[in-house]
Structure 1
Amino acid sequence: MTVITKEYFDYPHRKKGLDHDRFERRYLRDLPQVDWRDGSKLKLWVTVKFEQFPMDMPAKPFVAPGGMDRPYPSVWDYSTRDYGNRVGAFRLFKVLDKYNIRATAAMNSAVAARYPYLLQEILRRNWDVAASGVDMGKLHHGDLDPASEAALVAEAFGTLRKLTGQSVTGWHSPAHSQSTQTPDLVAAQGGKYIADWINDDMPYAFRTSAGELTQMPLSWDLSDHKILFTQNMPIADYEWQINAAFDALLAEAKTRGARVLSLSLSPWIIAQPSRIRALDRLLARITATEGVTAATGEELRNDWLEMQAP
């Protein structure tokens, strides 16, 4: 029988309100009523996740969402994910091009190295490339050795900067999973924004030991991964949820100030033949609406920071 000692409950940061000093408590209702710098009310931020799921996915500390849980080698699982990077991605490119949308490519660095033709297509479209770890088998979590995690962050940024020629200022941890030091390591590597905390609809300032980051509102609840894969809902339900979110955020933007509609897309999920037309319909409606413009993650960060300037 395990006995919990009194020391187990000692936590130096416990206090009223937030139990950390990463950011100031903020209520969205209290933000000043301002539009985006180009005069738009609502920004559409499309983030496309380019992921590498190794065939020998580790089971601990947990299997990343979408990760294989069958015994090695799980060809069925692996080839389904690989479909996104070889086939689905190009279907997705076509739809986004149709509406002149420049997206943020949240990439595992292994994808950039293993799929050079895919990277060429991303760069040809002048998308914003953000680091998303090394691959989906190398997760960031509290039990990870600090030196090992620092090496993973450095490898992800270093590989992507070398292969893309971009400054690569954004970070999204594989599986939205962090350790307590992940933001500090991202900032130390020159990152400027991070998209792991899903606790707001707008960007906000986030403190680290290496300077301030901007935390970006990359939605998990509206992701194709959660709705179509994890919850296994029909494509009609996905379409309904995105439309409902769009209507609500646009109404807020018109009465309370600037807002962001975040669409997180996975080529192996949304770009299946049975689903891509739903995304086409959604983007047709969203982009045709007055007061709505699209932006990359870095563009959003820059706009947000300038809007905060006195």
Structure 2
Amino acid sequence: MSAITEDYFIYENRGPGTDHDRYDHRSLRSVPHFTWPGDKRLLIWASVHLEFFPMDMPSAPVKPIGGMDRPYPSVWDFSSRDYGNRVGIYRLMEVLDKHGVRATAAMNSEAAARHPHLMSEILARDWEIAAAGVDMGRLHHAQLSKELEETLVGESFARLRGLSGQAVTGWHSPGHSQSAMTPDIVAAAGGKYIFDWINDDLPYGFRTTAGELTQLPLSYDLSDHKILALQNMPIGDYEYQLSAAFDVLSAESAQRGGRILSLSLTPWIIGQPGRIDALDRLLTRFLAEDGIAAATGEEIRQAWLSVGPKG
């Protein structure tokens, strides 16, 4: 066995808290005080995940978030997720309509093609479409070739842009998956922001080989998927956690500057009849306060570039 040479320990991107050159290390407390446009201090970002789970989903190299738990053909798994796109989504839309919230629909392109009624309802509400890959069976990971990943990203953007007529500037990899090349490929395909990384409460610049993206803070810890489906906690705990997060972020926004509360919503989870009223109560409370507003992902990106501190 050969000895490790000295150059093994030399890494040009080594730095505080990062060890890469994708973005600069930043502590949230070091962000200068600022307010969002319209003198708003806290933005509510509702991202609705519209997914298609193939019945014969692969389990390797990893099973996606929400993937099938039972052997093929898992009718139970498939139909429970299909419930979201056929039933739960309408309850979710009614609640968001009630509170005047325009959402970001993070959509698999296969879901858009298979459920044209969903696209019609989204466009009627002037929601924003963000690309979320092809389907939940095709994740982005290191074992994909660059050519295949370029095909998946390109297909997702092209199909969603064609069906919606929107620019589709946002990207969320299915199941929070990513390879080392995903951001570069997304930027090259015309994406302007991503929301796969869960390491901040504010946006930041994310470098790629095709220019800089904006990374937006989508919280997985506060998602209905983690709290209600993965951790199997009661709806009261979900309501408590979202309400507690709002209290903290609202106080921080008053004392230290603008903040974002991410509402990551899944129709087959929060759209159940025993859960949807919790979201109604939360939005009633959140939007009753002064200085609070709802915004889409692209609106947040543009606001951050116009008023957000760059330090």
Residue 95 of structure 1: CA displacement?
0.4
The answer to whether the 8 A contact 2:49-2:266 is kept is yes
Aligned to 1:167: 167
Deviations 1:182-231 (A, max 9, x none): 00000000000000010000000000000000000011000000000011
For the pair 1:15 / 2:28, whether they are aligned, the reply is no
SS at match of 1:77: helix
The SS at the match of 2:38 is coil
Give yes or no for contact 2:55–2:74 (8 Å, CA) kept in 1: yes
- Is the partner of 2:260 in helix, strand or coil? strand
| Runs of at least 5 residues in structure 2 that lack an aligned partner in the other structure | none
Quickly say closer, same or farther: Cα 1:10–1:255, change in 2 above 3 A. same
* TM-aligned CA deviation for residue 304 of structure 1: 0.3
Pairing 1:147–2:147 present: yes
Q: What is the number of residues matched between the two proteins?
A: 307
Q: What does the per-residue CA deviation read over 1:67-91, in whole Å, with 9 as the maximum and x for residues that have no partner?
A: 1031111111000000000000001
2:264 paired residue number: 264
- 1:309: how far off? 7.7
Q: Residue in 2 aligned with 1:28?
A: 28
1:144 Cα offset (Å): 1.2
**Distance change (3 Å), C-alpha of 1:5 and 1:210:** farther
Q: Aligned pair 1:177/2:193, yes or no?
A: no
Q: 1:269 Cα deviation (Å)? A: 0.1
C-alpha change, 1:268 and 1:62, in structure 2 (3 Å) is: same
What is aligned with 2:277? Answer: 277
Q: Which amino acid aligns with 1:16?
A: G
The alpha-carbon distance between structure 1 residues 57 and 257, as it changes in their structure 2 partners (threshold 3 A), is same
Question: 2:108, 2:134 within 8 Å by CA — same for their partners in 1?
Answer: yes
Aligned to 1:216: 216
- TM-score normalised by length of structure 1: 0.96
- Give the match for residue 204 of structure 2: 204
**Alpha-carbon spacing, 1:309–1:203, altered in 2? closer, same or farther (3 Å):** closer
Q: CA deviation at 1:24?
A: 0.6
Tell me the distance in 2 between the aligned counterparts of 1:278 and 1:180.
Answer: 38
Q: Which residue identity lines up with residue 127 of structure 1 in the other structure?
A: W
Q: Note if contact 2:42-2:250 (Cα within 8 Å) is conserved in structure 1.
A: yes
SS of corresponding position for 2:252: helix
Distance 2:135 2:81 in 1: 13
Q: Does the 8 Å CA contact 1:57/1:67 hold for their aligned counterparts?
A: yes
User: Deviation digits for residues 40-68 of structure 1, max 9, x if unmatched?
Assistant: 11000000000000000101011111110
CA contact under 8 A between 1:23 and 1:206: conserved in structure 2? yes
Is 1:131–1:156's contact at 8 Å kept on the other side of the alignment? yes
Code of the aligned partner of 2:256: R
SS at match of 1:44: strand
Identity %: 61
Distance 1:117 1:27, change over 3 A: same
* 2:57 aligned with 1:57: yes
Q: 1:5 to 1:89 in 2, by over 3 A?
A: farther
Secondary structure of 1:290's counterpart equals coil
Distance 1:69 1:238 in 2: 23
Could you report, residue by residue, the CA deviation over 1:106-160 in whole angstroms, capped at 9, with x for unpaired residues? 0000011000011100011000100000000000011111111110000000000
- Which one-letter code corresponds to 1:150 in the other structure? E
Q: What's the C-alpha RMSD, in Å, of the aligned pairs? A: 1.6
Displacement, 1:308? 4.0
Q: 1: distance between equivalents of 2:3 and 2:127? A: 52
**Which residue number in structure 2 is paired with residue 87 of structure 1?**
87
Amino acid in structure 1 at the alignment position of 2:14: K
**Partners of 1:142 and 1:68 in 2: CA distance:** 22
Cα distance in structure 1, aligned partners of 2:214 and 2:127: 19
Give the drift of 1:291: 1.0
8 Å contact from structure 1 (residues 59, 69) kept in 2: no
